[in-house]
Structure 1
Amino acid sequence: MVPSASKLRRKILFRKAKIAEETKRYDHMVQFMKEIVEATNPATDLSPKERCLLGAAFKNFVTQPRHAHLAAATKTKSWINHFSGPLAASFLLTSKMEITSACTEIVQLIDCRLLPSAVSKESKVFYLTLKGDVSWYMAEVKGAFDGMGDAGVANSAYAEAWGMVTELGLMNPHRLAFEFSVAEHFFNFRNSPVDAFAAVERAVSISAISSPETSPAVPLLTFEGGLQLAANLLNLKHRLQNVLQSKAAGPSNSPAGNPAGNP
């Protein structure tokens, strides 16, 4: 059976996006994935591989500028009261605009195109998790006051996803990816390693993994990037354990924070 012109175009664009990912040209990767969305029937959802690559494209695209912005913001604090203050402020503003522009674009794409056509719970959870992630990225670079609205959007997206996550299997990769995102949100944005650790514990519970209901973990093993996701969760758990142990050994015990029941 000969594939339709739109399907063939999507396949070609998907391969180009994979090549762009391998060569770390994330700007090209984003463009190819946007073209895939445009080439897809508006009433049809992306395939699981396409939506995963779309999320990877946008997150990889903003990761380096985001980290650079945060590092620059820390290093340039001493400049503000000196002659180079305006120069530092101008650089940080340009950086912030670049990040917020990319994040706003994916949030709009999710709200206006991807979520309305999503059918499965896995697809909806994926898009809502991605929306939550990029929203707190925006809040992070805007600062506590200017980013309040974006932080609220992130909380709402995670809360909506949580309502569907609990209906997915314990080893469902979309559930694990959601828990990883929530843990990073608590740890890196809300500065609450206690809540972050609780989220990771939910995801990598040994008793849950070894239960008959979740063995074998076929969905995770067959999910593209599933093994890397599991490794990321374990690495994050180890980092959080070290942070909590360090805090417990200090003058005060574990930091304030509410237990991470609902995100």
Structure 2
Amino acid sequence: MLLSAAKTRRKILFRMAKLAAEAKRYDHMLRFMKEIVEATDPDKDLSPKERCLLGAAFKNFLGVPRHSHLSTAAKTSSWLDNFTGPIAASYLLTSKMEICRACAEIVQLIDCRLLPTTVSNESKVFYLTLKGDVSWYMAEVKGALDGMGDEAIANSAYAEAWGMVTNLDSMNLHRLAFEFSVADHFLNFRNSPVDAFAVVDRALNLQAINSPEIRPAVSLLTFEGGLQLTANLLNLRQRLKNALEIKAPESPDHQICRPATLPAIP
């Protein structure tokens, strides 16, 4: 009876989280998803749909504050006079602390509650990807010097996940999300569109996907968001290709050179 009541509560919270997402109330969405984690047996992992909604809650909750902070920092960088300079610095510090507190909470939840209970490579890749994403978000708002530790955490999480994606279907939702996140990391944090293009191009290598060694892309149909992620990767690839061709017109054949140091996604 108790198990049934807990299961019913999780279903209600899940529906409320989806409703909050439709209403774009991401603070409510995140609160409901945290309650789902609390209502889940400590020895059990979340369901695939719950995992995806939890990740969406965190990233949507962080999205607007993060971009607003970066935009405000860029716009106020020239405010050097005695009156407006300290005002901008004080506001940006408050904003940075709020973002970092939210990011640190996510990393702690992943390390202490979510990763220890997961057994599948799929779940591990998902949680490590989310950990990598929020860690470089934190490094991004902290700056090059203060964010070095968080950058190292992001790199470590991505590297660990990178070693696990070989066991996932080439069109698996979590693998596609991982590849998109790594490309986003290279492009917007490391400022390396060449590396970003190499990741996206390999993820969309249809010849490799259709080879006999690769299992059929069943998960493209069975996981929500797979088609959208593929479309996002295709769009990102085209934008990167256009940007790189414009950036390096002196190349005689306009070929995009890939860095030899970038590990190939299997």
Amino acid at match of 2:48: P
Residue equivalent to 1:116: 116
- In the TM superposition, what are the counterparts of 1:3-82 in structure 2 within 5 Å? 4-82=4-82
Measure the CA separation in 2 of the matches of 1:107 and 1:250.
Answer: 44
Measure the CA separation in 1 of the matches of 2:79 and 2:233.
Answer: 38
Residue equivalent to 2:195: 195
Count of residue correspondences: 262
| Contact 1:6/1:39, CA 8 A, preserved across alignment | yes
Residue equivalent to 1:240: 240
Measure the CA separation in 2 of the matches of 1:193 and 1:258.
Answer: 14
Give the TM-score normalised by structure 1.
0.93
Pairwise CA RMSD of aligned residues?
2.2
* Gap runs ≥5 in structure 1: none
Secondary structure at the residue paired with 1:239? helix
Measure the CA separation in 2 of the matches of 1:192 and 1:257.
Answer: 10
Amino acid at match of 1:187: L
Amino acid at match of 1:57: A
Identical counterparts, % of pairs? 72
C-alpha deviations, 1:224-257, integer Å up to 9, x for none?
1111111111111111112211111279x97996
Q: Are residues 108 and 239 of structure 1, via their aligned partners in 2, closer, same or farther at CA, if it must alter by over 3 Å?
A: same
Q: Are residues 216 and 164 of structure 1, via their aligned partners in 2, closer, same or farther at CA, if it must alter by over 3 Å?
A: closer
Amino acid at match of 1:160: E
Residue equivalent to 2:107: 107
C-alpha deviations, 1:108-155, integer Å up to 9, x for none?
000000000001000000000000000000000000000000000000
Measure the CA separation in 1 of the matches of 2:17 and 2:24.
Answer: 10
Residue equivalent to 1:176: 176
**Greater CA deviation, 74-83 or 214-223?**
214-223
1:260 pairs with 2:256:
no
Secondary structure at the residue paired with 1:79? coil
| Contact 1:162/1:262, CA 8 A, preserved across alignment | no
Q: Are residues 250 and 61 of structure 1, via their aligned partners in 2, closer, same or farther at CA, if it must alter by over 3 Å?
A: farther
Give the TM-score normalised by structure 2.
0.92
C-alpha deviations, 1:157-209, integer Å up to 9, x for none?
00111111122222222111111100000000000111111110111112134
Measure the CA separation in 1 of the matches of 2:264 and 2:88.
Answer: 39
C-alpha deviations, 1:1-59, integer Å up to 9, x for none?
99701100000000000000011000000000000000000000000000000000000
Q: Are residues 2 and 116 of structure 1, via their aligned partners in 2, closer, same or farther at CA, if it must alter by over 3 Å?
A: closer
